[in-house]
């Protein structure tokens, strides 16, 4: 007996801002679609630290032509943006199959067989087109050092209160490490910041945070250990090695190597970035290209080398070492995919795709 399946024109994988924007437009244009997310709507944003602010201004991350207002006219916080996304789902009466993971996409001419799992239940969809709006921040970039998996070590920062009065070592020197260091220091943690470079890169740190971190370091409220990197995490301390101008550990034979540094720490936050899980794309037959291992695609349509399979949002970039693809320059993926699928452009004003130029990392 054949397995029962759900038939649709387009299946969207991922209900982040770009997947949701696409859903609004397809619905408005009368295209039948199904929408699936492995977690909750806005799952990626839900694990941002509490109260963190976007660096993008509200009008750039607004979707589907719906204004994003903030009560203080500042940039939106995680909480405000999640409320906004929930509002989008409610306003447009979108149906998102949340907590359902797409586990396999099989080309099955003329379309695709898409296998999903929700708890112990498995489902099968048949779709003419599949759009992967799966994002690019799936797993932490691990350092691969002994002790990295100890219980007092974390790759995610949630909120500062738990570090009050604690010896906290933060590793990293980009935005998330700097912001975490400032917030935890202000919340009474004894913060040491280890960064493998000598100075912060002002293109990788929110412009309003840079003077703050420099001031906290200068006043001694944060201990800064530039040109260092952890080599081992122990229960009571972290061992750091010295790094050179290239950020790499200096060889023991080099006189500049010096002695290792032991920093007391009862909590460790490794803010060393995130990487994309490309396995679903690869298993679907999508070629990965370039340094970022992003999907091979036609940038006019966002279709990959697999006919009928598209990529939207930051997933188009692969693992970004230097961030160039954000929500604000992904809106146009929606217009391009809609045009490719329906032959028409989205209704006027529904996609904010004129604001920023298309800037896909080179592959």
Ligand X SMILES: Cc1cc2nc3c(=O)[nH]c(=O)nc-3n(C[C@H](O)[C@H](O)[C@H](O)COP(=O)(O)OP(=O)(O)OC[C@H]3O[C@@H](n4cnc5c(N)ncnc54)[C@H](O)[C@@H]3O)c2cc1C
Positions in the binding site for ligand X (CB under 6 A): 13-19, 36-39, 43-45, 48, 52, 54-56, 61, 101-102, 133-135, 137, 176, 280, 313-315, 326-328, 330
Structure tokens at 74: 């500042």
- Indicate the residue among 45 and 297 with the shorter CB distance to ligand X: 45
To ligand X, the closest distance from the beta carbon of 185 in angstroms equals: 18
Both tokens of 309, joined, read 């399979």
Tell me whether residue 44 or residue 229 sits nearer to ligand X (CB atom). 44
Shortest distance, CB of residue 73 to ligand X, whole angstroms?
Answer: 16
Cis peptide preceding 110, ω within 30 of 0: yes
Closest to ligand X by CB, 117 vs 152, is 117
User: Closest distance between ligand X and the C-beta of residue 241, in Å?
Assistant: 27
Of 161 and 218, which CB lies nearer to ligand X in the complex structure?
Answer: 161
C-alpha distances (whole Å) from 321 to each of 40, 141, 190, 318 are 26, 11, 29, 9
- CA torsion sign for 186, 56, 300, 28 is positive
Beta carbon nearer to ligand X, 104 or 231: 104
Count of beta carbons in the 10 Å neighbourhood of residue 137: 18
Going through 100-257 in order, the beta strands assigned E by DSSP cover: 101-108, 111-118, 121-132, 139-140, 153-154, 167-171, 190-195, 222-226, 228-233, 237-242
Residue 9, H or E segment: strand 6-13
- For ligand X, the closer of residues 79 and 237 by Cβ is 79
* Cα–Cα nearest to 209, from 239, 185, 228, 231: 185
What number of H helices and E strands is found in the chain? 8, 20
CB of 285 to ligand X, least distance (A): 16
Distance of closest approach, residue 136 Cβ to ligand X, in angstroms: 7
Q: For ligand X, which is the closer residue by CB, 105 or 241?
A: 105
Least spacing, CB of residue 239 vs ligand X, in Å: 28
Supply the minimum distance, in Å, between the C-beta of residue 107 and ligand X: 17
Spatial CB neighbours of 169, under 8 Å, sequence gap ≥ 6: 192, 193, 194, 230, 238, 263, 265, 267, 268, 269
Task: State the SS3 of 333-356.
Answer: HHHHHHHHHHCCCCCCCCCCCCCC
Comparing CB distances to ligand X, the nearer of 241 and 315 is: 315
Report, in Å, the least distance between residue 306 CB and ligand X.
16
């Amino acid at each position: 007996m054949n397995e029962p399946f759900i038939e649709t024109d387009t299946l969207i994988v991922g209900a982040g801002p770009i997947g949701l924007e696409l859903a609004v437009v397809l619905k408005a244009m009368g295209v039948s679609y199904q929408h699936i997310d492995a977690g909750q709507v806005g799952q990626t944003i839900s694990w941002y630290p509490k109260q963190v602010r976007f660096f993008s201004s509200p009008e750039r991350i607004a979707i589907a032509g719906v204004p994003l207002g903030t009560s203080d006219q500042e940039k939106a916080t995680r909480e405000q943006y999640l409320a906004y996304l929930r509002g989008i789902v409610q306003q447009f009466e979108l149906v998102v199959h949340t907590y359902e993971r797409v586990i396999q996409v099989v080309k099955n001419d003329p379309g695709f067989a898409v296998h999903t799992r929700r708890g112990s239940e498995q489902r099968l969809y048949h779709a003419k087109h599949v759009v992967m709006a799966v994002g690019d921040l799936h797993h932490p970039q691990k350092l691969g050092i002994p002790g990295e998996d100890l219980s007092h070590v974390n790759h995610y920062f949630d909120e500062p209160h738990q570090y009050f009065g604690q010896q906290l070592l933060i590793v990293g020197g980009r935005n998330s490490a700097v912001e975490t260091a400032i917030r935890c220091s202000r919340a009474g943690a004894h913060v040491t910041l280890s960064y493998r470079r000598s100075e912060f890169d002002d293109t990788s740190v929110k412009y309003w945070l840079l003077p703050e971190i420099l001031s906290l370091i200068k006043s001694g409220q944060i201990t800064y250990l530039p040109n260092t990197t952890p080599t081992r995490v122990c229960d009571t301390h972290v061992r750091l090695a010295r790094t050179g101008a290239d950020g790499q550990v200096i060889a023991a034979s080099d006189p500049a190597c010096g002695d290792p540094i032991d920093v007391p720490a009862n909590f460790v936050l490794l803010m060393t970035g995130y990487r994309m899980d490309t396995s679903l794309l690869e298993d679907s037959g999508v070629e990965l290209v370039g340094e970022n291992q992003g999907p091979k695609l036609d940038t006019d349509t966002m279709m990959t080398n697999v006919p009928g399979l598209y990529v939207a949002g930051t997933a188009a970039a692969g693992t970004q070492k230097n961030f160039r693809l954000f929500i604000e320059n992904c809106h146009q993926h929606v217009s391009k995919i809609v045009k490719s699928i329906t032959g028409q452009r989205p209704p006027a004003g529904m996609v904010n795709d004129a604001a920023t130029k298309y800037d896909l990392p080179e592959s």
